[in-house]
Structures are given as C-alpha cells and as structure tokens.
Chain A
C-alpha cells in the first residue's frame, strides 16, 4: 500500500482561486506570436512583487509559464534558482534565473526593448524612475505590513508613517497621467500591486488610502484599466482573506 503523506498546508485561503496562470495562457490580443517558451516565473499569487513581474511581462506581450510556489514548502527549482534569498519572484529565462522584482522588471524591459518601454529613454528621467521605484520598495511593503500586524499605539504610529508615504507619492504623481508622465512605467508597476491591499489596510487599521491620498485614486483607476494590471492583480477581498489567515497564523486579533 502506498505511503500517504499529508501535503503541507499551503498559505492560501480555503476556497480555490482562479490562478493568474490561466489568464496568461489565454491567447489574447496582447500576446506576441511565436515568443520563446523558455520563460518561467516562480511566484506566489498574493505577492505584490510577483505581480510587478506579471504586469511587466504582460505589457511586453511575452508568453511565460507561471508557477505557483508553496512558500511553506519551497520547490527545489526555487531553492536552486534563488539560493541567496530563497524568495519569489524569480524569472527563469532559458534556465538562467533573475531575482528581485525591480531587477526582473528592468531585465524584461531591456530584453524586449522594441515594444512598450517601461523606462523612459532619457537617462535623467530613468534615474528619477529608479529613485521612486526604489522608494516604493524601501517603504511600502514594510509600512503596509505594520498596518495589519500591529495594534494600539504601534499601529497608530504605523498609520502616520504610511500616510506620509502616500502623500509623498501623491505629490510626486501630481497631475500626471502616470508617474513617468504619459507612459505607464516602472514606478507605476512598482506601486500598483500595493493598491490591492488598500481594502485590507482599511479593514485592519481603519486607514483609507483613497481619503488620505485622493490624487492617487484616478491613477489607480487608470492603471486598473490596463489589461496587464487587471489580469495581474488579485481581488482585494481575496487579499483581505489572506491577511486574516496570516493574522490567525501569527496569533493577531
């Protein structure tokens, strides 16, 4: 009789979620024909860092295989491809891994320079884009996480911090269509996945990003109208379910 091993509990809500992979495998109009099939993205559905890569690949119309990782039981491929950090996302291009989401996005942009540029042509504008994308990296995830992990005084502090970041970003966006101007690009890609967490921040910390940074609202809407974004971002309610699940795991009320 075969030995039945209980599969480790994945970090997913209990009901099945339509994985983004199926959306990307559809031959929709934004997919280029005959693209190399040697691309694999190791990812985790709720990860804003993974979503950045999905958006970038979709913008370029590049076909790839999406592989969902169980972060409690990381695949040998993930461990081999990112031995230093053992984290997703990893983009494996014909066996060669690229790690770190903003790195991956820039790699995608440089590898397919003939379409949908994600960084501006001007070197000064590029430096600005990198600066703001880096700021999103440094600030959003940590600050956002504090909003649902902490309570009381600590949470209030975290809220102040988060609002400051939002206002900073709002100021940088100004009246522009996207952070880079008329073209959707690196900074938009860096930031937009976190907007799927706004619902959770409101539910957990009573912080309405829309109220605190109203100028970001039309930008969010504009980004979500792009197929690359709408197909890559999770349902905010599913994100909230995941946050609630994590809170149980961490023993937070």
Chain B
C-alpha cells in the first residue's frame, strides 16, 4: 500500500536490530516509507526533537508524529495498518499476552546474555554468557513450540510479534557466532529455532533489510577499534 510522500518516515541506522524490527513490520504491511539513515556517531536534530526522552533510534514518524521504542512501533504499525497484510499480534487477548511476555523476555534476558558473549573480557565470563544465552534459547524453543502450533513462525503461518522481536537479533547473532566460534542457534540444542532462524532471514519482508553478516562484522570491528 503506497503511502503519500512524506507520510511515513523511519529514523534509523542500518546495523540496529531495533530499527530492523520497525522495517520488518512496515514491510509486512506493505507500507512505503522513507528511511532516514542516521550518521554514525552523530544524532540528527530531527532525532533529538522526535525522541527527546531517549534520543535513540528507531523513531517512526507517521504524519510527522513520532512513535518511539521498537516493539511499541511494531504494535503501532500493526494497528495503524490493520487492514493491510496479516496481523502481527494475534487477536486473542491471552495469546497477545504471551507474545508480549516473550518479547520482553527476549530484550531483558536473551539480548544481554548474547551481548555479554561479545563484551566478555575473560574466557570464564564468556562461557557464563554462552550458557545463559543457550538456556534462554531453550525456553524460547519451548515457547516456539507452544505459540507456533506446528506452523512456521511464533506467529503461526505468518511472521508475528515474537518473530520480529527475536529475529531482529539474528544478524548480530551470526556475528557473535563467528567471533566466538560457536553456534547460538544450534540444531542439536534448539532444533526448531535453528530452522526458524533460516526461515525468518529468508522471508521477503526480512531479507532485503537484514544487514549482511560481513558488513556487520566490519562494523563491529570498527566499533572495537574506537
């Protein structure tokens, strides 16, 4: 569905998983939008004006009205373009509660442990983060089984809220896997998620906007060099 020029703009940075969430949601709904790439290391005046509280990307501007926080943007996109594409959140209140619960879990528990692997200064600290990340993925594997009901995604037949929450991290997960020399989405430990990860990255709403692993690796190296 074409949006009028300037109607939908997304302020973001290509490496950010949080920005990726917003892009996937907009793609799922077929919304045309202008991507305003922030310059690395500098925050634009528009960003600072649109998100004065956190001064972070992503920020969705719909008719110039800002929406901040990635999963809030996803939920907003789902509601604002409810008539387009498939629903991102399920209709049933209980299922919605489950999706919201796991999205928060992914951000509060899984992301820090995954990030912890990259930040770890010692082998011990790294091993601890790896164990935590795997433990979290085991829980998510169970959640996947329950929510997917035998279908391809957490959202069932189509990409849903939890898919977006977790899937957005897959680019960086691959970088960390390479840098740390291990598999996070391990076919033996979490077989369902290992398959899901490939499927998510291959989805047409995702593949164009998921940053390439090599580019992210370069970016990571640059960050480390700083």
Give residues in A with beta carbon < 8 Å to B: 84, 93, 96, 98-100, 103-104, 106-107, 110-111, 123-124, 126-128, 130-131, 134-135, 168
Contact = CB atoms under 8 A, between A and B. Distances in A.
Report whether over half of chain B's contact residues are helix, strand or loop; otherwise say mixed: helix
Interface stretch (B73-81, B171-179, B184-192, B209-217): B73-81
B94 A103 contact: no
A103 B97 contact: yes
Interface of B: 53, 62, 65, 67-69, 72-73, 75-76, 79-80, 93-94, 96-97, 100-101, 104-105, 139
A38 to B, nearest CB: 13
B79 A99 contact: no
B72 A124 contact: no
Contacts of B100: 100, 103, 106
A134 B72 contact: yes
Given A100-B101, A103-B100, A134-B69, A124 B76 contact: yes
A110 B93 contact: yes
Contacts of B96: 106-107, 110
Given A126-B75, A126-B76, A126-B79, 7 more contacts: A84-B105, A103-B97, A106-B97, A110-B93, A127-B67, A127-B75, A127-B76
Contacts of B73: 127
A130 B75 CA distance: 10
B80 A124 contact: yes
A120 to B, nearest CB: 11
Contacts of A107: 93-94, 96-97
A124 B97 contact: no
A135 B101 CA distance: 17
A84 B140 CA distance: 11
A106 B99 CA distance: 12
Nearest to A133: B72
A111 B92 CA distance: 9
